Amino acid sequence: MSQAENIHDVVIVGGGPAGLAAGIYTGRGGLDAVLLDMMGGGGQVNTIDRVENYPGVVDPESGIELADIMRKQSESFGVAITFDEVKKIETTDELLTVNCTSENYSAKTLLAASGASHRPLGVPGEGRLTGRGVSYCATCDGAFFRGQHVAVVGGGSSAVMEAVYLSRIVERVTLIHRRDSLRAEKIQQDRLFAADNIEVLWDCAVEEVLGNNEVSGLKIKNLKTGDPSQLDVTGMFVFIGLIPNSTFLKGVVEMDDFGFIKTDTRMRTINPRIFAAGDIRQDSARQIGTAVGDGITAAVNIQEMLDTVTPDRQYVKS
């Protein structure tokens, strides 16, 4: 039977902690669940060096290890994890059609758990030199800069955490932040200020990434004084927030101005057959633990919704 003829109970889009947690619960609950992921699962967790704030994980383990355990646990309950990219969702009252690059899937419900991607700075040179000194993942690319001087852009937990990670590998890290205080968690800030090879450029913005084939420096502007300067670095790591991976649901569910999906506390969107969980959701705390909680909440409510579908398959609103 082709995928198009097989009506799944739920299609889960995204194999990060939210999607995998939902996979564990829907699979264990006996639902026919298929999980679609462009990269095979793990999501942003794969880029975390040490997971130390996920309850129950006492000895920090890498994000890759944690995601791998969740993936195996989900598969052990019969969830099929499939490489595919969702392009569009078509909806009727009774059914959803999930159009992907390789296949189309029919499903009674859908869980959007496709997370968010790193936001680019949008300055000249950034796109051209991405992969040639510009990076959005310290765990992936840090080792290429051993013994060198790199810049990290941003003032949130991601930027500060990644600056500390890089300081253990490279010779020197310059954190560039547009204001004079950080929004990162205090524990992350304490680690940053304790590192003797990290300096902070306060109130500064990167105006251009310099270099022909590889990054050779950054054009900087002090936003308070207007003074220009140049920073000679071979790498720039950008961590200035996230863009939700929600394009495939544009016009189908309600989103905020940034594209984060609006849900109620049961993870329901305005479409009764579509749920959202994790970083893609408006007001998510964007932690592994909260993504897992969202995924479980969505799974429980998907199960409940399918149980309340009447024999003629009309959704009964509670």
Residues tagged active-site: 137, 140-141
Most distant CA atoms of the chain, gap in Å? 70
Task: Decide: is 159 part of the binding site for ligand NAP (CB under 6 A).
Answer: yes
Residues 265-304 that bind ligand NAP (CB under 6 A): 286-287
Whichever of 182 and 302 has its CB closer to ligand NAP, that residue is 182
Q: Which of 134, 151, 161, 253 binds ligand NAP (CB under 6 A)?
A: 161
Task: Decide: is 135 part of the binding site for ligand NAP (CB under 6 A).
Answer: no
Task: Decide: is 241 part of the binding site for ligand NAP (CB under 6 A).
Answer: yes
Q: Which of 240, 276, 277, 299 binds ligand NAP (CB under 6 A)?
A: 240
- Determine the Cα–Cα distance for residues 244 and 280; give it in Å rounded to an integer: 5
Whichever of 25 and 136 has its CB closer to ligand NAP, that residue is 136
- Determine the Cα–Cα distance for residues 293 and 17; give it in Å rounded to an integer: 9
Task: Decide: is 158 part of the binding site for ligand NAP (CB under 6 A).
Answer: yes
Whichever of 90 and 180 has its CB closer to ligand NAP, that residue is 180
Whichever of 125 and 154 has its CB closer to ligand NAP, that residue is 154
Q: Which of 155, 217, 235, 278 binds ligand NAP (CB under 6 A)?
A: 155
- Determine the Cα–Cα distance for residues 219 and 139; give it in Å rounded to an integer: 25
User: Which x/- pattern over 85-124 shows residues binding ligand NAP (rule: CB under 6 A)?
Assistant: ------------------------------------x---
| Segment interacting with ligand NAP, rule: CB under 6 A, options 19-27, 95-103, 155-163, 225-233 | 155-163
For ligand NAP, the binding residues (CB under 6 A) are 53, 121, 153-159, 161, 178-179, 183, 185, 239-242, 286-287
